[in-house]
Amino acid sequence: MKKCKTLFISNRNDVTTDYLISKFESYSTEFLRIDSEDINSLDIEYNDKYGTLVTKGDLIYQLSDVQAAYYRRSPSTFVSSDDELDKPYLYNERRHFFEGVYLSLNDCKWINPIFNTYAGERKLMQLSLAKKIGLFIPETIVTNKLVKAKLFLSRNENSIVKPISHGLQQRGNVFYSIYTSSISLNHFKELELTDTFDTPIYLQKKIPNELDIRVTIIGKTMFSVSIEKDNTEEVDWRKPHIRKTYKEHPLPQNIPEKLLLINKQLGLVYSAIDLILTPNGQYVFLEVNPVGEWGWIEKEVGCKITNTLIKELLCHK
């Protein structure tokens, strides 16, 4: 059997994991990558004697050897000819199999633990936690009632709307992003909306924006970067057409300890936290992304995020 001390869990289209592994190979060759789509091509077996065995090519890996795991993506797409009526059941079976395998590695160090990642992506919990810790948060309403949404927008003439879940969506084989956008009461008047929405809408008061701040946390190490947009009226700096400049950004003394506390209470080793710095110098919490991208920060600013992640993976319990 081939030794596997580090496990990478992702999807095939995850270039961030591609990049991390390309650097990790100079430190260790004792690793295995499993993509969520691999259930159709790998020989994966769980038994009560050896635990989980994975055969990849001519090599057999015993996952009980794994000391650290980097978790990025949950199962999303399975290539198969399943009957449409059976797909929900089969998807559930596959997902529970993978999660059961990963959770059985209970002596393994996780970046991040799977269910901590799931829970940590819940934006309403993030807001409640940030407020409790003492961070400023925007005035917010999440409602499925048209009258309440209109009332909020009448009080807050400049507001934003964002997804409650992550913005990355899939239709068939096409992936696309839903970005945070400006919204006003006039937008609502132009739409034919029912009194009760199919899903709650997430509205926040628009915050005056001097800078966007992305804080990347790995263990107790923190990388803070400012993002200056060419158009300050744009609310989502991730939109590809926006021109941006990036700089390292020192945080005031009371902010880092609060961000580390959020990470700790969410049970995360890694996270990407978005803040806004207002013109009057106030830092406003927006959200936490437990699997946020970081390759662009390293490329633009030179922060040693990759090396820090690798050291964290190699520093076992």
Same domain as 226, residue 194: no
pLDDT tens digits, 170-213: 666 676 677 788 898 988 877 778 899 999 999 999 999 889 99
> Tell me, what's the pLDDT at 310?
95
Same domain as 309, residue 276: yes
Question: What CATH number does residue 101 fall under?
Answer: 3.40.50
> Tell me, what's the pLDDT at 36?
78
Q: What is the CA radius of gyration of the chain?
A: 21
Same domain as 34, residue 85: yes
Structure tokens at 185: 């009461």
pLDDT tens digits, 259-282: 999 999 999 999 999 999 999 999
Helices (H), the chain: 15-24, 87-103, 114-120, 123-133, 146-155, 185-189, 254-266, 295-301, 305-314
pLDDT tens digits, 13-63: 888 999 999 999 998 889 999 887 777 778 889 998 888 899 988 889 999
Same domain as 11, residue 99: yes
Question: What CATH number does residue 307 fall under?
Answer: 3.30.470.20
Same domain as 79, residue 21: yes
- Is 227 contained in some domain? yes
Same domain as 242, residue 217: yes
Of 149, 170, 205, the residue at which a domain comes to its end is: 205
Same domain as 286, residue 193: no
- Is 170 contained in some domain? yes
- Is 127 contained in some domain? no
- Is 133 contained in some domain? no
Decide which of 236 and 274 is more confident.
Answer: 274
User: Concatenated DSSP letters for 60-77?
Assistant: EEEGGG--EEEE------
> Tell me, what's the pLDDT at 243?
78
Number of domains the chain contains: 3
Same domain as 213, residue 182: no
Euclidean distance between CA atoms 10 and 292, whole angstroms: 13
- Is 118 contained in some domain? no
Nearest-5° angle of CA 19, CA 20, CA 24?
A: 120
Of 95, 111, 127, the residue at which a domain comes to its end is: 111
Same domain as 301, residue 213: yes
- Is 121 contained in some domain? no
φ and ψ at residue 8, rounded to 5 degrees: -110, 130
Decide which of 65 and 180 is more confident.
Answer: 65
> Tell me, what's the pLDDT at 76?
52
Residue 12 has pLDDT above 70, yes or no: yes
Long-range contacts of 170-177 (CB under 8 A, 24+ apart): 170/76, 170/77, 173/77, 175/13, 177/238
- Is 120 contained in some domain? no
pTM of the complete model:
0.89
- Is 221 contained in some domain? yes
Residue 317 has pLDDT above 70, yes or no: no
Of 62, 92, 111, the residue at which a domain comes to its end is: 111
Same domain as 248, residue 164: no
Same domain as 212, residue 198: no
Same domain as 309, residue 220: yes
Look up the domain containing 229 and give its range: 208-314
